[in-house]
């Protein structure tokens, strides 16, 4: 970053994204070195240096971790980032490395649908799990004596938002650690550590990498001791990213600002178009001025994400709508350059109505996408 001449915290997001994590230029070497495929590294004599065995460290991860750290916490050299095989590997590494039997943890009741599975496992290990919805900072009510507060803001799939700064302050006053799932916002949309969190945790499978072709997760944290425990957990469980995925992720981060700005602006245009339709209820997008979460979102987010949620009157109508779309694939996940949507109730894990749709807006031309959505709504009408 130094060659921009402005310091890492002064440059714009596009500049930061294209340069994130790049090594100092070396004559005849590529700008971004290729993936290092190695199970083990030459290691004569004493065990010294970072690279000894491929489950512990890899030079391709190092560059990616540096890149993510520069986006999550620009200019903060004391921050450490660790990459994982998936978002769930990253989430589990924080929860299971920081909590002990007898501890209490607060989880969102409306978070990502694998959290109830995590909850069951935490409880099996003797950890007390409390839940509260994301909206209205409801987690404040159940913080008393907790060891860790887990925030997912915006939440998936309901897109509620909580006041991260307020919750972090309250949690710290009680001695609790704070982790924020930053998947939906991406580090260009929200910087949880600046808002007071101890960990920013995310699935890099989504908009961070944005092409729907890899799984990845990461944890960024500033407490060296806590991060040492997270690193130890990665070593024990071996939930590591392959070097090819790590390299693809790093390559993709270069276009994060371009993708996010395009996709997020189109998501707002789609939401505005949906707002005019009488058959739509429960429309949510944190960037919509009338959204219940917009005021808090505007305080802490710099971009509002590419996901829009809404409900059609019945399951049958939602299924017909999805089938009628030409430019939007019926698929799960979100954040990719190709638009996707799904009837979330088909998984059975989210507390949502049968006609609830989560739509992830891609990089198609906005007018094409809006036209496709409106046409599919017309064609799927009873
Ligand atoms: C908010 C959120 N966190 C975590 C995850 C898990 O990420 P991964 O699928 O990369 O394990 C997801 C996946 O959809 C998610 O939406």
> Mind listing the pLDDT tens digit for each residue in 281-301?
999 999 999 999 999 999 999
Is the Cβ atom of 153 under 6 angstroms away from ligand 1? Answer: no
Which residues sit opposite 130 in a β-bridge?
106
DSSP states of 342-376: EEGGGGS-S---TTEEEEE--SS-HHHHHHHHHHH
For the residues 140-160, what does the mean pLDDT come to? 98
Q: Which residues contact 295 (CB under 8 A, 6 or more apart)?
A: none
- Token pair for 31: 């700008």
Cα–Cα distance measured from residue 112 to residue 90, given in angstroms and rounded to the nearest whole number: 14
Q: What is the mean pLDDT of residues 110-122?
A: 97
| Rg (the chain; Cα; Å) | 21
Which pLDDT band holds residue 82 (cuts at 50, 70, 90)?
Answer: very high
Measured CA to CA, the distance from residue 78 to residue 220 in angstroms comes to: 11
Q: Quick: pLDDT tens for 42-62.
A: 999 999 989 999 999 999 999
Main-chain dihedrals φ then ψ at residue 326, nearest 5 degrees: -100, -35
In which band, very low, low, confident or very high, does the pLDDT at 10 lie, cut at 50, 70 and 90? confident
Ligand 1 centre distance from Cα of residue 87 (Å): 5
How many C-beta atoms lie closer than 10 Å to residue 237's C-beta?
16
| DSSP-derived pairing of the beta strands 281-284 and 80-84 | unpaired
Beta strand 307-311 pairing with 281-284: antiparallel
CA–CA dist 187, 72 (Å, integer)? 5
Query: How confident is the prediction for the chain on average, in pLDDT?
Result: 96
Size (the chain), residues: 382
- Please compute, for residue 143, the number of CA atoms within 13 A of its CA located in the half-sphere on the CB side: 21
Q: How many CA atoms lie within 13 A of 330 on its CB side?
A: 12
pLDDT surpasses 80 at 160:
yes
pLDDT tens profile 173-218: 999 999 999 999 999 999 999 999 999 999 999 999 999 999 999 9
Cβ of 203 closer than 6 Å to ligand 1, yes or no, is yes
Q: Which atom of ligand 1 sits closest to the CA of residue 156?
A: 1
Confidence of residue 350 (pLDDT cuts 50, 70, 90): confident
Q: What is the pLDDT of residues 314-344, one digit of tens each?
A: 999 999 999 999 999 999 999 999 999 999 9
Is the pLDDT reported for residue 3 higher than 90?
no
For residue 287, the tally of other CB atoms under 10 A from its CB is 23
pLDDT band at 4 (very low <50, low <70, confident <90, very high): very low
In this predicted structure, what is the pLDDT of residue 1?
A: 32
| Residues near 99 by beta carbon (within 8 Å), at least 6 away in sequence | 105, 122, 125, 127, 147, 148
Residue 150 has pLDDT above 70, yes or no: yes
| Shortest-distance atom of ligand 1 to CA 89 | 11
* 229: CB partners within 8 A, 6+ apart: 97, 98
Q: Is 362 a residue whose pLDDT tops 80?
A: yes
Contact between residue 205 and residue 334 where contact means Cβ atoms under 8 Å apart = no
Does ligand 1 have an atom closer than 6 angstroms to the CB of 152? yes
The reported pLDDT for the residue numbered 38 is 98
The mean pLDDT value for 222-243 works out to 98
Q: Is the CB of 342 under 6 A from ligand 1?
A: no
Q: Whose CA is nearest to atom 7 of ligand 1?
A: 87
> Strand 199-203 vs strand 80-84: parallel, antiparallel, or unpaired?
unpaired
> End-to-end distance of the chain based on CA atoms, in angstroms?
56
Q: Which of 7-16, 132-141, 244-253, 299-308 has the lowest mean pLDDT?
A: 7-16
**91 Cα to the center of ligand 1, angstroms:** 9
Contact 215 CB / ligand 1 (< 6 Å): yes
Task: Determine if ligand 1 sits within 6 Å of the CB of residue 156.
Answer: yes
User: What's the confidence (pLDDT) of residue 7?
Assistant: 53
Q: How far is CA 37 from CA 33, 57, 84, 245, in A?
A: 12, 11, 16, 11
Provide the pLDDT for residue 2.
Answer: 34
């Amino acid at each position: 970053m130094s060659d921009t001449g402005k310091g890492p915290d002064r440059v714009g997001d596009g500049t930061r994204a294209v340069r994130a994590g790049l090594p100092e230029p070396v004559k005849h070497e590529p700008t971004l070195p290729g993936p290092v495929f190695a199970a083990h590294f030459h290691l004569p004599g004493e065990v010294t240096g970072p690279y000894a065995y491929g489950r512990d460290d890899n030079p391709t991860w190092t560059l990616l971790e540096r890149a993510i750290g520069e986006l999550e916490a620009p200019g903060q050299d004391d921050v450490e980032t660790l990459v994982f095989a998936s978002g769930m590997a990253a989430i589990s590494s924080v929860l299971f490395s920081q909590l002990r039997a007898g501890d209490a943890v607060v989880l969102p009741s409306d978070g990502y649908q694998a959290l109830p599975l995590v909850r069951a496992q935490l409880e099996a290990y003797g950890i007390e799990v409390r839940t509260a919805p994301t909206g209205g900072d409801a987690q404040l009510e159940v913080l008393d004596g907790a060891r860790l507060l887990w925030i997912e803001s915006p939440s998936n799939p309901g897109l509620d938002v909580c006041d991260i700064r307020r919750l972090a302050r309250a949690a710290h006053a009680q001695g609790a650690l704070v982790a924020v799932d930053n998947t939906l916002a991406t580090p260009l949309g929200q910087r949880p550590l600046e808002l007071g969190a101890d960990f920013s945790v995310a699935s890099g499978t989504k908009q961070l990498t944005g092409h729907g072709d890899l799984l990845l997760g990461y944890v960024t944290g500033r407490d060296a001791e806590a991060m040492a425990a997270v690193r130890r957990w990665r070593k024990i469980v071996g939930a590591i990213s392959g070097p090819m995925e790590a390299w693809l992720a790093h390559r993709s981060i270069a276009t994060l600002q371009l993708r996010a700005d395009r996709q997020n602006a189109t998501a707002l245009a789609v939401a505005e178009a949906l707002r005019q339709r009488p058959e739509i209820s429960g429309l949510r997008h944190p960037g919509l001025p009338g959204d219940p979460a917009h005021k808090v979102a505007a305080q802490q987010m710099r971009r509002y994400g590419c996901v829009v949620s809404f409900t059609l009157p019945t399951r049958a109508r939602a299924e017909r709508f999805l089938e009628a779309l030409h430019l939007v694939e019926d698929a799960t996940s979100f954040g990719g350059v190709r638009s996707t949507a799904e009837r979330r109730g088909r998984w059975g894990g989210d507390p949502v109505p049968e006609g609830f749709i989560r739509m992830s807006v891609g990089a198609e031309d906005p007018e094409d996408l809006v036209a496709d959505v409106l046409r599919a709504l017309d064609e799927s009408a009873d």
